[in-house]
Amino acid sequence: MTQGSGPPGSTAQEYSVQLTFREQWTDERLKYNDFGGKLKYLTLTDASRVWMPDLFFSNEKEGHFHNIIMPNVYIRIFPYGSVLYSIRISLTLSCPMNLKLYPLDRQVCSLKMASYGWTTDDLVFLWKDGDPVQVVKNLHLPRFTLEKFLTDYCNSKTNTGEYSCLKVDLMFKREFSYYLIQIYIPCCMLVIVSWVSFWLDQGAVPARVSLGVTTLLTMATQTSGINASLPPVSYTKAIDVWTGVCLTFVFGALLEFALVNYASRSDMHRENMKKQRRQQYESEHALEFEFQPLVRHPGDPMAIEKLRPCEIHVPPQRDNCCRSWLSKFPTRSKRIDVISRITFPLVFAMFNLVYWSTYLFRDEGEET
151 shares a domain with 182: no
* Residue 78, domain member (yes or no): yes
Does residue 280 lie within any of the structural domains?
Answer: no
Kindly state whether residues 106 and 145 are assigned to the same domain: yes
Shared domain for 95 and 148, answered yes or no, is yes
Is 90 exceeded by the pLDDT of residue 333? no
Least confident stretch, 9-18, 105-114, 158-167, 302-311 = 302-311
DSSP assignment of 29-80 equals: GG----TTTT---EEES-GGGS----EEETTEEEEEE--SSS-SEEEEE-TT
Q: Is 272 domain-assigned? A: no
Look at residues 122, 146, 174 and tell me which one is the last residue of a structural domain.
174
- Asked if residue 200 and residue 183 are part of one domain, the reply reads yes
Q: Which domain holds residue 35?
A: 8-174
Helix (H, G, I), strand (E, B) or coil at 103: coil
| Distance in angstroms (rounded) separating the CA atoms of residues 229 and 226 | 6
For residue 107, give the 3-state DSSP assignment.
Answer: strand
Q: Is residue 85 part of a domain?
A: yes
- Whole-structure pTM value: 0.76
pLDDT digits (tens, 9 = 90+) for 292-314: 555 555 555 544 444 455 455 55
Q: Per the domain annotation, does 273 fall within a domain? A: no
Closest CA to 108 of 13, 177, 18, 178: 13
- Given a contact cutoff of 8 angstroms between Cβ atoms, the answer to whether 246 and 187 are in contact is yes
Confidence of residue 339 (pLDDT cuts 50, 70, 90): confident
- Calculate the alpha carbon distances from 43 to 23, 39, 76, 184, 260 in Å: 15, 11, 5, 57, 85
Determine the longest span between alpha carbons in the chain, in angstroms. Answer: 153
Q: For residue range 155-208, what is the model confidence (pLDDT) as tens digits?
A: 999 898 999 999 999 999 999 999 999 999 999 999 999 999 988 887 788 888
What type of residue sits at position 337?
D
- The pLDDT-based confidence of 138 (bands split at 50, 70, 90) is confident
For the domain that residue 105 is a member of, what is the CATH number? 2.70.170.10
Q: Which of 146, 174, 202 is the last residue of a domain?
A: 174
Do 172 and 109 meet the contact criterion of CB atoms below 8 Å apart?
Answer: yes
Contact 75, 50 (CB under 8 A): yes
Q: DSSP class of residue 355?
A: H
In a domain, 286, yes or no: no
Q: How confident is the model at residue 262 (pLDDT cuts 50, 70, 90)?
A: confident
Contacts of 178 by beta carbon, 8 Å cutoff, 6+ apart? 143
Q: Are residues 217 and 354 in the same domain?
A: yes
Which neighbouring-strand residues pair with 271?
Answer: none
Give the DSSP per-residue string, 171-199.
EEEE-HHHHIIIIIHHHHHHHHHHGGGGG
One domain, residues 186 and 223: yes
**Total count of domains within the chain:** 2
At residue 124, the pLDDT reads 94
Tell me whether residue 155 is exposed, middle or buried, using C-beta atoms within 10 angstroms of its C-beta: 0 to 12, 13 to 18, 19 or more. Answer: middle
Q: Which residues pair with 158 in a beta bridge?
A: 161
Q: What pLDDT score was predicted for residue 276?
A: 62
Q: How far apart are CA 317 and CA 151, in angstroms?
A: 75
169 and 182 in a single domain? The answer is no
What count of other Cβ atoms lies within 10 Å of the Cβ of residue 309? 4
Cβ(104)–Cβ(39) below 8 Å: no
Q: Is 296 part of any domain?
A: no
Say if residue 231 is in the same domain as residue 365.
Answer: yes
Residues 29 and 167 in one domain: yes
Whether residues 237 and 89 fall in one domain: no
pLDDT at 89 over 70: yes
Specify if 361 maps to a domain.
Answer: yes
Mean pLDDT is lowest, of 3-7, 231-235, 261-265, for: 3-7
The answer to whether 113 and 85 are in contact (CB under 8 A) is: no
Residue that is last in its domain, among 120, 145, 174 = 174
